[in-house]
Amino acid sequence: MAADRPESRAWWIWGAAVIAYLAAVFHRGSLGVAGPLALDRFDVGPAALSAFTVLQMSIYAGMQIPTGLLADRFGPRRVVTAAVLLLGAGQILFAVADSYSMALLARGVLGVGDALTWVSILRLVATSFSARRYALVATISSALGALGGVAATFPLTLALQGMGWTPTFLLVGALTAGYAAITFGFVRDPRTSSTAGRPSGAAATLARVRAAWAVPGTRLAFWVHFGTLFAAGALTLLWGFPYLVEGLGVAPATASALLSVLIIGQVVGGPVVGALIGRRPECRMPIVVVYLVISALTWAPLLGWPGGTPPLTVVMVAFTVFALGVPVSSIAFALVRDYNPIQQVGTATGVANAGGHSATALGVALVGLVLDGVQGMPAVDGYRIAMLALPAMLVLASWRTFVWWRRARAVVLEAQARGDEVPVSLRRHRWDLPRLTTAASR
């Protein structure tokens, strides 16, 4: 799986592609600070507002396996170029939307464009850089993409205040669509991206998805991504700003700055996590477990503070912890790369990437539904009750992660016993499965 092109050229190609991902993250998070404006513009309530993000993220999650298949078959160049065009078109449509249904359509188009970017970039990284560099480049890609989220907080707030809804979203949509010329001209596909000659019918496609899903390492990656990404996703994409402003009474400018903590933590933490797991792959799952425990402990003071309004310092610490979940979630992609053949990496990456984003969509929907159900209560109590959905999801994810960690370890331990080469050498513990059973592939 080593690179098949000079690495300096690979960096240039990667750079052109990762800017497209930065744009995708910006558009994905653009509703975060525009949410209160959207309530007035489309005359809707919290549940209807959450439908924008739920639709977008549901499309994103549902498109991950098809995106992996497309990236494996057609290569990242064409897929990323199509993504940029769809992102620009969706945001332009959102800018001029004057009805709720048209705005939903616009966010759906954005969701499709967004869905096509990340897996394609990981496919490009997997086939352009060595295995040693993969984890670092993948986390740097995520960190740079997070800068798009920074732009979608305080800078976007200023633009909306100064220019208004339509001019702001028209401008960013047009700039994004124009970038398609750059991706088409500069991004080049690795030779291994082509699947010409391979079966391409529906049965063969389903077989590739089943083959990726049958790998315990892929299933483990799905739950790792599910459990580490959704808190930052739900807060950044929609509920962080209303929670801070309406639930905690924070000034909008301060709320935007606090939301930036969710992004800055990703930018800073990404390269650190990538460098660590690149040099010490045996640290990957211990990092995940420690993060899941710390994340669970973080929700307690945030939602259980007497009176319901924790100090801003507590909120900032909590948001920093949730932000670090995004770089930790990249461990899922390192697991996918290690446990799948290169021809299957795109598909398996799509499977894993669907985990965190389906969790984000679920979390956004649950918070919105609970908020609708507690209308009439004081905002601070309503948001505290609604946010309980997120730690409940964390408990589910932690349980499933542990289950599939044991099963993936069983595969590696059996391979070691046979003398096979394994990605990470393991030592058996008392809590390991005694041997791999048919349950490990269910």
| Mean residue pLDDT across the chain | 83
The pLDDT score that the predictor gives to residue 138 is 79
Q: Which tokens hold the place of 307?
A: 């009176």
In this structure, are residues 360 and 234 in contact, taking their beta carbons and an 8 Å threshold? Answer: yes
| Distance separating alpha carbons of residues 50 and 55, to the nearest angstrom | 8
Give the DSSP letter string of 354-390.
Answer: HHHHHHHHHHHHHHHHHHHHTBTB-HHHHHHHHHTHH
The pLDDT score that the predictor gives to residue 319 is 93
The pLDDT score that the predictor gives to residue 109 is 93
Phi-psi region of 249 (alpha: psi -120 to 50; beta: other; left: phi over 0): left
**CATH architecture group of domain 7-189+202-424+431-441:** Up-down Bundle (1.20)
More confident residue, 288 or 433: 288
| Distance separating alpha carbons of residues 14 and 21, to the nearest angstrom | 11
pLDDT band at 313 (very low <50, low <70, confident <90, very high): very high
| Distance separating alpha carbons of residues 296 and 287, to the nearest angstrom | 14
Per-residue DSSP letter, 97: -
In this structure, are residues 132 and 278 in contact, taking their beta carbons and an 8 Å threshold? Answer: yes
In this structure, are residues 217 and 408 in contact, taking their beta carbons and an 8 Å threshold? Answer: yes
More confident residue, 274 or 168: 168
Tell whether the model's pLDDT for residue 5 goes beyond 70.
no
Phi-psi region of 197 (alpha: psi -120 to 50; beta: other; left: phi over 0): left
pLDDT digits (tens, 9 = 90+) for 383-439: 899 999 999 999 999 999 999 998 888 887 887 777 767 677 777 777 777 765 544
Among the listed ranges 1-10, 12-21, 107-116, which one has the minimum average pLDDT value?
A: 1-10
pLDDT digits (tens, 9 = 90+) for 185-244: 888 776 654 444 454 556 777 787 888 888 898 999 999 999 999 999 889 878 888 899
Tell whether the model's pLDDT for residue 122 goes beyond 60.
yes
pLDDT digits (tens, 9 = 90+) for 322-356: 999 988 998 998 888 888 877 777 788 888 988 98
Q: Please give the distance of CA 238 from its chain centroid, rounded to a whole number.
A: 14
Residue 21's alpha-carbon distances to 138, 141, 146, 274, 404, in angstroms, are 12, 8, 9, 18, 30
Among the listed ranges 95-99, 161-165, 189-193, 280-284, which one has the minimum average pLDDT value?
A: 189-193
In this structure, are residues 239 and 54 in contact, taking their beta carbons and an 8 Å threshold? Answer: no
pLDDT band at 162 (very low <50, low <70, confident <90, very high): confident
What H or E segment, with its residue span, contains residue 34?
A: helix 31-42
The pLDDT score that the predictor gives to residue 202 is 62
Q: What mean pLDDT do residues 369-390 have? A: 86
Q: Which tokens hold the place of 241?
A: 């700003």
More confident residue, 263 or 326: 326
The pLDDT score that the predictor gives to residue 131 is 66
The pLDDT score that the predictor gives to residue 265 is 83
Strand residues in 236-367 grouped as ranges (E): none
Helices 331-339 and 131-151, packing angle to 10 deg: 150
The pLDDT score that the predictor gives to residue 144 is 82
Tell whether the model's pLDDT for residue 25 goes beyond 80.
yes
What H or E segment, with its residue span, contains residue 245?
A: none
